[in-house]
Structure 1
């Protein structure tokens, strides 16, 4: 009986979350093939289809392993980018794991420098920082700056203008996987981990095809979820506003009693009504902030899975020699219940 050759564990894993990126899939594989051919490391590519509706999965299914093993995971619905990243990281087997977007706005060529910094200089987390945000609207750029300012100011970690495009050493990956939160703020958590860390600046290139699938509603939800999941500062702000109004109320009470003791009429009906409206608005706002934290706790204690896998595809390359032309053994696994 002919023995089955062993498949060496890949040194490099590349995780790419995808949502409605059908047009980019073949372009992505072509670009990554060129990059990996220069690195000369056994590599695997993990594509995570986050509930796409435009035929992304069908496009993935038509692709073959080239100079890397190709694995794909299809989620049963859209669980969000953070969940898709988690799926890919949990599936990755490499000593180094690169996470990047599939729209080619994270330049694949930077992977070469990431690998050099990891392999030759011993960095355990190699981040990328956007020095130029490309075609993003002024409103989006403003919101991004505001978000990073808030996170940097109140969370205790410095995100700068980091992106999800980064390399993690296996040690950092294992540490990240010990965090069991249902809501994962990937950029914040990798910054919180510590380890030997460096960053590479890059300019965001134009989209090769299609348009961004992000909507204002989606960005707003991502912003709120990440702030709530990574910082308790909003609760502290509510407490600070409450303390401020308490001091104001005490001062107003002293003034009112002083006027009453002197027999002077207490005036200012309009001011009192306006003050009540302001206080009422602050109370409702504070309840809203508290409600977001309660909702987050509720989601955590329910214990639902972070994602549900619908299908998997595996196309293995046998790393018997460095990028040999030996057989490409393909295996497909589908309809996982």
Structure 2
């Protein structure tokens, strides 16, 4: 039965072993199949499973459909309703907070990532040998333009943010309760959930799968959202902009020095005869790259201040072992 909880508290339940978090936005056409296939997955698991649907301001009839289907479904479920559309990653965070299982999987509602992948994730997590499972796309049935855009995005992400992320990116993952708790402690807006998932560390394994063709609707992962997400990731996890600014200032300063020597020699040897040309060039060259160097230095201090405001822990200890010895 669906519980009408007024707060999302993420209280662990002894009755739930596995939770699957599904953000919902414009997925009315696929929700019936999602529930059906998750019900089949739940039967094969060795413990109770729940589905946590986070309706992220969906403009279609997804919420009404879930309220009609879930009370009759064979799996436990929750419906969490956002006050408006906040985006997929905030919806996942809401779902992680609401999930009651010891092991949590995250998947989309468009069925491009097969729900059966959750079973593979949970099998890996239940061994106790890994804490995070991520889907690694080995094949994809997306349209050519969408495929190229996605590959380009994740190539840039790997080059600028984290090279450990699978080449095809991360659209689906699973984790233990401990990992979910650590992720939720990092209460950062305008950040990258995927980046945070890899930042917290823990033991991680990749599970290969083939991304299926979208049968209904179209992806909301537009170019504008990709660019914004990439910029959020850059500013949240790297100092590349500051480093580039400092590098330009340093290289420019060296080139300015060389150019200044050339200009001065030209003036001294009489090759430059225009009045005021030499001092004007020297002032322009030195002032331009001195400003860039200064901005790079100031930016480095601002970056460190920004890092401290995030409130990320310096480290996340897994266990503490104390041995008193035999003496």
Please confirm whether the aligned pair reaches a TM-score higher than 0.5, indicating the same fold. yes
| C-alpha contact 1:37 1:67 (8 A) present in aligned 2 | no
1:199 alignment partner, SS class: strand
Q: What is the root-mean-square deviation in Å for CA atoms of aligned residues?
A: 2.9
Instruction: Decide whether aligned partners of structure 1 residues 87 and 125 sit closer, same or farther in structure 2, where only a CA change above 3 A counts.
Output: same
Alpha-carbon distance in 1 for matches of 2:70, 2:88: 25
Alpha-carbon distance in 1 for matches of 2:126, 2:216: 33
Match of 1:208 among 194, 212, 215: 215
> How big is the shift at 1:266?
6.7
Q: Deviation string for 1:150-189 (max 9, x for gaps)?
A: 4333435511233231110111111112212123412111
Name whichever structure is richer in strand by fraction. 1
Alpha-carbon distance in 1 for matches of 2:111, 2:151: 22
Alpha-carbon distance in 1 for matches of 2:266, 2:229: 51
Paired position in structure 2 for 1:28: 34
Unaligned ranges ≥5, structure 1: 1-6, 302-337
1:254 alignment partner, SS class: helix
Instruction: Decide whether aligned partners of structure 1 residues 214 and 22 sit closer, same or farther in structure 2, where only a CA change above 3 A counts.
Output: same
TM-score by length of 2: 0.76
> How big is the shift at 1:107?
0.8
1:73 aligns with 2:90: no
1:54 aligns with 2:60: yes
TM-score by length of 1: 0.74
Paired position in structure 2 for 1:100: 107
| C-alpha contact 1:157 1:188 (8 A) present in aligned 2 | no
Match of 1:63 among 66, 69, 74: 69
Paired position in structure 2 for 1:317: none
Larger RCO: Structure 1 or Structure 2 (Cα < 8 Å, ≥ 6 residues apart)? Answer: 1
Unaligned ranges ≥5, structure 2: 1-12, 311-327
1:109 aligns with 2:124: no
Q: Deviation string for 1:261-280 (max 9, x for gaps)?
A: 1111279x9xx8xx99xx89
Instruction: Decide whether aligned partners of structure 1 residues 32 and 115 sit closer, same or farther in structure 2, where only a CA change above 3 A counts.
Output: same
Alpha-carbon distance in 2 for matches of 1:32, 1:98: 12
